[in-house]
Structure 1
C-alpha cells in the first residue's frame, strides 16, 4: 500500500492562518504597521456594530446606576438664536435669557449657568468649554466668573485641551489649561477633554495612564485627568489602558437640557445631579463621529461620563492576558479544524468557530465589561478554516481527477458519478482499507496452444474482442474491472462502494452468467469467420480484502489484495477439472445467494496455498454452443 504523503503540520498554510492574527494583535512590528492598523480598524467596526445591534434589540433603553444622575446642560443652536425663538418681552423677563445670544458668551453667563444648578442642589458641575485665554469681554468678565463660582470651587471642574499637529516635519504638542484666575474657582486638576479615535476617525475611548504619560510628561505638573475621571471629588487614577466609551441608543443617552430652558425646570430637578456644561450647537463645528452618527463633542463627553458612572466602559486586555486568550483560542481552533477531513467540513467548522468567538466576546462584554481582541479571535478560525478548506478543496479536486483517471474505464458511469460526488475514504485516504467484496477471475482454456497457432496481431485482436465482450458484463453490474493479466480478467464487486454483501454476490453471479452468454455470442461470430472458438473458466469467492492504491508515488493502481483473491484465482483454475462447469464458486459465496440460484455441490477440494479443503459449488449455466 502507498500511504498519502502530507507535509508536516507546521508547514501547512492553514497553520499560518492561526499564527498571523496572534502576531499582529500582540506587541511587535506587525501591530505598528498596516496589519495592526487593519486589525484595530476591524475591532472598531465590530464594537460599533455591537452597539448598534444592542440598540436594535432594545437592550440599552434603561440608564442604570449613577448615569441616571447625569444631565447635559447644552448651549444649543436655539440658545444661540433666542432672538428668533422668543419675543423681547419674554427674554427680558429672565436676566439669564436676556444675556444669551450669539457665541461666544460672556464667561459671567457661563458661570451663572453653573451657579443656577448648584444653588438648586446640583452635586457637581463639569465644564466642557476650555477657558485658556483671557475673555474677549475683558478682565472683569474673568473676575466675574471666578467670583461667582468660588463658593462651590470644590464642586466645579474646568476643562483642559490637548492638541497634536505636524509643522515643518516636527510634531508639536499643546496643552491648553484654564487661566490661573479661573482655576481659583474650581477643584484641581482640570479635566482633559481629549478622547481617542479609531483608525477610521470614530471617537471611541477615554485615554489611559499610559497615553497620558506618553503625551503629557513634557508639560509642567499638575497634569490633568480625563474629564470622565473627574466625575467624583476623589478622582481615582485612570487605568493604564484606554477605556472604550459605552455608546447607547439615542433613547438611552444622557438627557440634554438646552440652556434656554433652564428657567422652566423646577429646582428639584437638579438636586443631587452631576451637570456637564458645553456647546452642542452643530454650527460651532465641534462634531465627532460615533457608531450612531455625528454627535457634538459635549454629547460624546457626556457618554464617556455615563460609561464611567455606570461602570460599563469596556476595558481592553493587557498584552500578557491577551496573549493567553489568543493562545488558548488558537489551540482550540487548531484542535477543531484538524479533525475535519473535507473542505466543506472545514468551512462549516470555521464559521461555527467564528460564531463561538462572537459569543465568547459577547459574554466578556456583557458580564465583565471586557473587550477581547475580537478581530483576531474571528480572523483565526476564518482565515485558518479558509486556508485549510482551500487546500483540502485543491487536494480533493486532484484526487477526484486521479479517481476519474483510474476508474473511468473500470466501473459503470453511474457508479463513477456517485464516487466522484462523494469520494469518502476512497478520495481522502490513498492507502488501503479493509473491506469485504466478491472477487471474480476468468481465464481462457487452452490459451497457450491458441497463441502458438495465431500471429501476434491476430492473437491481440482476438483477445480484445473477448475482453470487450466480457468486461461489459462487469460494468453493467456495477463491478470494478481490476486488471487484465494476459488472457485473464480480474474484477471485484463491493469496491470501491458496496451495496451490501448479498447484493454484490448476486451482481457477481449475474455478471458471470452474462460473461458466459456473451462468450457464446462471440463464438458464433468467430465460427462464421473461421476463427478458433474460445472456452473460459470463471472462479468466484467472497471474503475480506485490502482495497487501495498499490504501486509507487509515480504510478499507482487501485486494486485489492488478500487471501480472497488467491481463492478466486484457484477456483478459476479448478474449472479445468470440470469442463462441464465453467463457473465455480465457494460455499461462502453460495451462502449469500438466494435459493432460486441453481448450483451443484462438487464436494471439498484442496486448493493450492489454502490450509484446508474448500467446499466448491458449480453454477448451473447453459452450454456455450458455436451455433
Structure 2
C-alpha cells in the first residue's frame, strides 16, 4: 500500500469519525430531555463540592438568618454574659490582670448561687499567688467552674498525652468516631486549676469567608473523647456525668438523666450547626467591673445599686474590651464578638432551637424528578411563557426555602440546585431556540422564492401557521395563463423565448408579491398564487388584494408588450381567473421533498374560471364568492352563469374591469349591461335585446353583448319549448 493510499484512508477515517461525532452530538441534542437532567445532575454534584459553591450556599444561609433576625428578641434567661470590657480594664489594669480579682468575683458570687460559671478564657499559664486566690474563690463559690481549653491555639510541643486532666473526665459512650479529627496536643488550664475546675474545648474554626457556622461539641484528644466548652458548661449546669451522655456521631448527642433529656444533632465529625439568633444585646449581660463592685457590696452587706438576678443561671465570662477581644464576622454582623458563637450554641441547646440541614440525597433526587417532570413541558412552551414559568418555579422554590427556614429551622441548601435547574431549562430553551432558528431558516429557504417579503416575515414570526400535514383554510386563488403559449414556444428562438418568459414571470410575480400573495407554482406558462394560505389579513381583504394583483398584472403586461413591441418581439395576452373557497393548506409530499401547496375543489374552480377568459374574450374573470368578498370597490360585469366541468351547481362569473375611485358610482355603461343581463336571465328577451344593443352602441364589437344579443334574437324568432335556463355548460377544463 502506497503513501497516498494511506493518506486517503486516514482522511476517510477522519471523515467517518467526524460524521459519527456530528451524528452523536445531533442525536444527543435531539434527546436533550432524556440525557440532560442526568448530565446536569452530575455537573451540579461536582460543582457543589467546590469552594465557590459552598460560599454561595453559605451566603444564602446567612441572608436567611439576617431576614429572620429581630433586635427585639432575647435569648434564654438562664444565660448571663459577663464582659471584661474597657471599663473593667480601666479599673483592674490591662489584660491579663491579676487572677485574684477572678477569685474575688467568684467569692462574691457565692452569695448569689449561680448554677455554673464558665470562663471563655485560656488559663494555660501559671500566675503564682494569684492562682491560689482564684482557687480559693472557686472553693467559696460552691458551684462548678468551667475553663476554656483549645486545640486550635496549641503547638505541637503542648502534648497532652499522659497529662492528668483533673476533674474533666472523658466521654465514654461514643459510637462511630472514625471521622473525628485526632489531636495530640492542646492548650489546657494549668494543673492547679484543673484540680478544682472542669474545662472544655473552645475550638471554632471559621469557614473560608471567616464565619463560624458550626463548632465541634465532641473532640478526640489522644485516645479519648472530650466535651467542648459549651457541652461541658451544660453538663455542669445540669449536673450530668459523662456516662449520662450517649454520643452517636453523624446523628446526635443524647442527654439521658432524670433532670434533663435532650437530642442535640451533630454530624460525623461531632460538629454542631449554629442557629444564629442573637448579638450581644440579645443576651442578659453585664460588665465584669460593675458586677464585681455590686456583688462585693452585697457580699459585705452594703447598699447595692442595680444587681441582676443571677441565681441558678449559667454565667459566661469572656473578653469584650477593645484590642483584647476576638472579633470576626457572623451571619448577623461583620464585626461580631467571637464568644457570641458559644452563647448562641448554649441558647440553641437550652431551647432545643436547632438548625436542621436538609438531606442532600433527598434534595438531589427531588431535583432529578423535578427536572424530568419539567424539561419536556418547557420544550413545548414559547420563550415568554417558559421564562415566566421558570421564574415562578424559582420564586416558589426560594419562598419555600425561606418559609421552611423561618418556621421550621430547616435549611435547604438549594442555591446550586436552583442554578442547575435554571441552567437545565436554559439549555432546553437554547435547544428550542436553535431548533426554531433552524426551522425558520428552512422556512425562509423553502418559501423565499414564492412568498411576498411581508408575508414571509409574518410566517417567520408565526411558523406554526405552516404545518406539515395541512390545515383547512378559506383562501382566494388566482390562476393566470398566456394565450397562444404553445404556438409561441414552438415558433420563437429558444434564447429569446426563455429571456422573454423570464421577464414576464418576474413582472407577474412582483405583482403577486406587492399585494401579499403566495406564489405557489409555475405550471408551464401558468401561474398559481394564493391569498390567506400562509398568513391571512381577513377574508375580505384577501379577496381585495387578489383582485388588485390581477389588475396590476394587466397593467404590467401592457407595459411589457409596449417594451417588447419596441424591441420587435412578440406581444401577448393573458387570462386570469380568481375564486374563493376552503382548501387544505400545508407541506405535502415525501420527507425527501416537501411542497407547500393548497388542495381542494376551490383550486379546480379557479383554474376553470381562468379557462373561461379565452372563450369570453376577457382578461380577468372572477368567481361569485371572490367577487362578493371584494365588495363594491371593484367595477365588474357579469359574464354569465356557468356549470363548470365536474360541478352540478351553476357559478356566476364576472369580468373585472377596474377598481372604483373613492366615492365613484357605477358608470351608466355597466348599468345598461347589467340590466340587459338580468332581463336575459329572467327570459325577457325583448328587453334584454334592447339593452345589449344599446350597450353595443357604446362598446361596439363587445363579445359578451354580441353573444347574448344573438341568443335573444334566436329565442324571439324561435322560442324553445323547454323551460328557459340561462346557465352555460362549460367544457373548458
Q: How does 1:49-448 map to 2 (within 5 A)?
A: 49-54=63-68, 60-64=70-74, 66-80=75-89, 82=90, 97=91, 100-113=92-105, 116=108, 119-120=111-112, 122-131=114-123, 133=124, 135-138=125-128, 140-150=129-139, 155-163=144-152, 174-178=185-189, 181-183=192-194, 185-186=196-197, 190-207=199-216, 212=218, 216-217=219-220, 219-225=222-228, 227=230, 230-231=233-234, 233=238, 236=262, 238-241=264-267, 243-248=272-277, 253-254=282-283, 256-262=285-291, 263=293, 266-271=306-311, 273-281=313-321, 283-284=323-324, 286-291=326-331, 292-331=333-372, 333-334=374-375, 337-342=378-383, 344-408=384-448, 410-420=450-460, 422-425=461-464, 434-448=472-486
Matched-pair contact (CA < 8 Å) for 1:585–1:619: yes
Q: Secondary structure at the match of 1:283?
A: coil
1:526 maps onto 2:561 in alignment: no
Q: 1:165 to 1:110 in 2, by over 3 A?
A: closer
Distance in 2 (alpha carbons) for counterparts of 1:21 and 1:308? 39
Give the stretch that moved more between structures: 481-490 or 240-249. Answer: 240-249
Q: Secondary structure at the match of 1:295?
A: strand
Q: CA deviation at 1:316?
A: 0.8
Q: CA deviation at 1:359?
A: 0.8
Report what 2:163 is aligned to.
Answer: none
Distance in 1 (alpha carbons) for counterparts of 2:618 and 2:639? 11
1:482 maps onto 2:520 in alignment: yes
1:471 maps onto 2:485 in alignment: no
Q: CA deviation at 1:494?
A: 1.9
Distance in 2 (alpha carbons) for counterparts of 1:372 and 1:551? 54
Q: 1:272 to 1:70 in 2, by over 3 A?
A: same
Match among 549, 552, 567 for residue 604 of structure 2: 567
Q: 1:102 to 1:46 in 2, by over 3 A?
A: same
Q: Secondary structure at the match of 2:582?
A: strand
Distance in 1 (alpha carbons) for counterparts of 2:618 and 2:109? 115
Q: Secondary structure at the match of 2:462?
A: coil
Q: 1:126 to 1:415 in 2, by over 3 A?
A: farther
Alignment deviations for residues 384-428 of structure 1 (CA, whole Å, 9 cap, x no partner): 2332233333333444444444444544444444554x335259x
Matched-pair contact (CA < 8 Å) for 1:537–1:573: yes
Match among 529, 534, 541 for residue 491 of structure 1: 529
Q: Secondary structure at the match of 2:226?
A: coil
Distance in 2 (alpha carbons) for counterparts of 1:153 and 1:602? 125
Distance in 1 (alpha carbons) for counterparts of 2:651 and 2:451? 28
Distance in 2 (alpha carbons) for counterparts of 1:249 and 1:615? 93
Distance in 2 (alpha carbons) for counterparts of 1:352 and 1:196? 38
Q: 1:332 to 1:510 in 2, by over 3 A?
A: same
Alignment deviations for residues 56-94 of structure 1 (CA, whole Å, 9 cap, x no partner): xxxx22215x535533212234433x0xxxxxxxxxxxx
Matched-pair contact (CA < 8 Å) for 1:70–1:275: yes
Matched-pair contact (CA < 8 Å) for 2:475–2:539: yes
Distance in 1 (alpha carbons) for counterparts of 2:472 and 2:184? 76
Match among 631, 640, 649 for residue 594 of structure 1: 631
For structure 1, which runs of at least 5 residues remain unmatched after alignment?
83-96
Matched-pair contact (CA < 8 Å) for 1:14–1:384: no
Report what 2:579 is aligned to.
Answer: 540
Alignment deviations for residues 531-577 of structure 1 (CA, whole Å, 9 cap, x no partner): 23232333433313232486656x765x2242257435643553366
Matched-pair contact (CA < 8 Å) for 2:479–2:610: no
Distance in 2 (alpha carbons) for counterparts of 1:405 and 1:496? 15
Distance in 2 (alpha carbons) for counterparts of 1:156 and 1:465? 108
1:621 maps onto 2:621 in alignment: no
Distance in 2 (alpha carbons) for counterparts of 1:552 and 1:61? 71
Q: 1:548 to 1:68 in 2, by over 3 A?
A: farther
For structure 2, which runs of at least 5 residues remain unmatched after alignment?
1-23, 157-180, 241-254, 256-261, 295-304, 659-698, 700-733
Q: CA deviation at 1:365?
A: 0.4
Q: CA deviation at 1:368?
A: 0.9
Q: Secondary structure at the match of 1:270?
A: coil
Distance in 1 (alpha carbons) for counterparts of 2:620 and 2:273? 83
Matched-pair contact (CA < 8 Å) for 1:67–1:306: yes
Q: 1:575 to 1:295 in 2, by over 3 A?
A: same
Q: 1:317 to 1:165 in 2, by over 3 A?
A: farther
Distance in 2 (alpha carbons) for counterparts of 1:367 and 1:37? 29
Report what 2:544 is aligned to.
Answer: 506
Q: CA deviation at 1:475?
A: 1.7
Distance in 1 (alpha carbons) for counterparts of 2:626 and 2:154? 90
Give the stretch that moved more between structures: 375-384 or 450-459. Answer: 375-384
Distance in 2 (alpha carbons) for counterparts of 1:310 and 1:434? 72
Q: Secondary structure at the match of 1:67?
A: coil
Give the stretch that moved more between structures: 466-475 or 283-292. Answer: 283-292
Matched-pair contact (CA < 8 Å) for 1:443–1:489: yes
Q: Secondary structure at the match of 1:508?
A: helix
Distance in 2 (alpha carbons) for counterparts of 1:6 and 1:483? 37
Q: CA deviation at 1:277?
A: 1.5
Q: Secondary structure at the match of 2:629?
A: coil
Give the stretch that moved more between structures: 41-50 or 326-335. Answer: 326-335
Distance in 2 (alpha carbons) for counterparts of 1:250 and 1:11? 55
Report how many residues are paired: 572
Q: Secondary structure at the match of 1:257?
A: strand
Structure with greater Cα Rg: 2
